[in-house]
Amino acid sequence: MADPSSNLNSYDNQFGTLEVGSFIGGTYRVLDFIGQGGMGFVYKVEHLMMAKVLALKILRSEQVSEEVWKRFRIEAQAIARLDHANVVRIYDMSQTEAGLPFYTMDLLVGESLADYLDEYYRLPVSEALPIFRQVCAGLAYAHDRGIIHRDIKPGNIMLLADGSENSLSKVAPVVKIVDFGIAKLSSFDSGFGQGLTRPGEVFGSPLYMSPEQCSGQKLDHRTDMYSVGVTMFQALTGRPPLLGKTAVETTAMHQSVVPPAMADAIVLEEDEAPVVFPPELEEIVARLLEKSPDDRYDSLADVASELLALERGEIRKGQGGTASAGGGRIAPYAVAEAARRKASYSQTQGLTSGQSETDSGADAASRKQAKTLVLALAGVIALIAVVGIATYVVLQQQKHEQEAATHLKVVSFDKGSVHQNLNMLQDLNEDSLGASLRLSPADIKAIETYLSAHSGFYSKPVIEGGKRFSVFDFPTKFALGMLLHKGQNNLLSKKELATGTIKATSNDELHLIPSPAVIAYPELLTGFRPDELVELCFNERRERTDKLFPIIRGFTKLSRLELRGTYLAPSDLAGLDRLTTVRELCLDRSTLTGRELSRCKILPNLTLLGISGVKQITPLLRRMAELNKLEVLEANHTNLTKQDCLYISKLTNLSSLSLKGDSVTDEDIDHFKTLRKLKVLNLSKCNKLTQRTIDTLAQLKTLEEIKVTEELALPANYKQLRRALPNLRNFDYSY
């Protein structure tokens, strides 16, 4: 394996390219170039110690000032914690040695909504509903956590093939929203000082910006609602609702011009039949496009709920609407708005196309209205010019309107079926991951050469300035993995690749996530002193080894051990029995059964147990119920029985319980009323649950975070639980 410290400066400043095979930050190896856009360059990379293939976006240096990057990094800490089925996961944000900012995220194989619209012009209503339902769900999740996107547009909505049998539409793609907060990075330093938030800043793309965003006002989550409305309008009609001749004119129109109804804006192909939009859908889009944030929805979760009802063909009585005999809904709000918007938009279109006051057929009243509107538009444009920064930024944004999506199109989707390529997409991802887990002959030679030439401990104690440190001298030809430095309250203070020279304070608790080198050669762990490692994640070793337990039983401070997907034989129980310091044990997908694990002697010491995917789970749960020491239990996809749920109900010290994908019923959940310390409960993909479970959850007064099925993640249920549970912070679903 090449030395990760080499090639760090292989970024070509003239062309902005990274060489395949080069390293970034000593952590990522470049596998391929994906594409480029106005903000930077996108690469397919391999995370060296996680053995995971990701996408890495390296930003153009001229796009990001040091101050802007500093402010974004603070917000990025919250963005990186977003974990939702419709939000792309961000893993790392840092800078190269040359000072170029980059961030990594899930590698998505699909196409952006912008690419789709470029090819097919617009979406049928039946295809648009599930797409925008997911967009609203993902944004609502982020908004609940205080995160605003600021740049919702078709290019930031990715469409991936979905193989789920539970999809409401067999052709509906999975949606991933990308580039959260990245719009901030396109701002230029204008000398406004050092504050973390500054009035008058404008971020976003002019075609999709809200009125308050165009004028640089303080933003809240409702700015994203307007951008969603613009994007929906364009996706359904083939054109944006408001489009001026310049970016400045477009921003002025967003602030003063009422958009038309979709039915009046759609451009039909020759001989194409007229398109009729459901009045409920017209109402939703019209409300999203209100000029005042107060006139929009309270939450995009409400929009997701209404779109879901339309998708299912249900009759829903909404604000301002009454049920009709024909199975639809009379929407007086939408009817009145359509008339008002049609009149206003017709006047505006006439003005922007150069009509004069002497046009035939125009009466005095309409000429007076036209003059007033011209003056209003002129005043708005003048105001923007005075503000200055808004005009400057939107003009700069014109250069980036054609920016490619974060992940360029890799596989084309047929208009009729986006599932067609699902198997190929899965094969691509699995092959990439499998290849990264295999050690090359050069890697093996480097590891075995090191083992034959080195012995003793990696670290030496030193004293500097009266403080004690440990200086580690790790291998340089390969990495041992990712070393996490944690301090008080388990807070992460630093993470770095375990290669070369590393310094740790005497107060650091060290956690190791091993690289494939350590998974294949556990004897590399003998270089750690007995009191150095607090946590070890020895996951995904598919072949049994008798070397691991004799080594780690000497780690006197080891409190957490992960053996997810690692092959264990019944004879390895003796090794587990000797790990008396371990308090947290993760054995997901273990080859040991629950019956075998129930005999493990360290069970009385455990406060956390992960047994997702373990078979014959009942004897183990019976044993844990007898001990009643667990505080955290993860038992996802374990085919729980009613007896299993009864045993879980006796774990009265539980604060966190995850049963994702289990076949539990409403009756099973009833038993959990005994869990009076429970704060976190994950019931996602438990598809047998009904509305009755919501009533049960309302009685668990200590709950703070709840995940349920998509069917139960409704605004009405959230409101019910919010009233009943004083500490509830999160209520959502995940796939």
Compute the 3-state secondary structure of the chain and give helix, strand, coil in percent, each to the nearest 5: 40, 15, 45
For 650, counting Cβ atoms within 10 Å of its Cβ (0-12 exposed, 13-18 middle, 19+ buried), the class is middle
Structure tokens given for 489: 């309250």
Is-catalytic flag, 151? yes
The sign one gets for the Cα dihedral 32, 34, 40, 46 is: negative
Between helix 364-387 and helix 247-256 the angle, nearest 10°, is 120
Cα torsion for 34, 153, 68, 91, to the nearest 10°? Answer: -50
Query: What's the angle, vertex CA 368, arms to CA 363 and CA 373, rounded to 5?
Result: 125
Find the helix or strand (DSSP H, E) in which 340 lies. Answer: helix 332-352
Rg, Å, the chain Cα set:
29
d(CA 136, CA 116): 19
Q: How far is CA 32 from the centre of its chain?
A: 23
CA neighbor of 515 nearest in space, from 29, 180, 148, 35 = 29
Q: Which of 92, 106, 144, 151 is catalytic?
A: 151
The sign one gets for the Cα dihedral 621, 623, 626, 632 is: negative
User: Residue 457's CB: how many other CB atoms inside 10 A?
Assistant: 14
| 185 Cβ neighbours under 8 A, 6+ residues apart | 39, 59, 63, 64, 68, 69, 72, 101
d(CA 51, CA 46): 7
User: Which backbone phi and psi does 55 adopt, to 5 degrees?
Assistant: -105, 140
Query: Do 426 and 110 meet the contact criterion of CB atoms below 8 Å apart?
Result: no
Residues belonging to the active site: 151
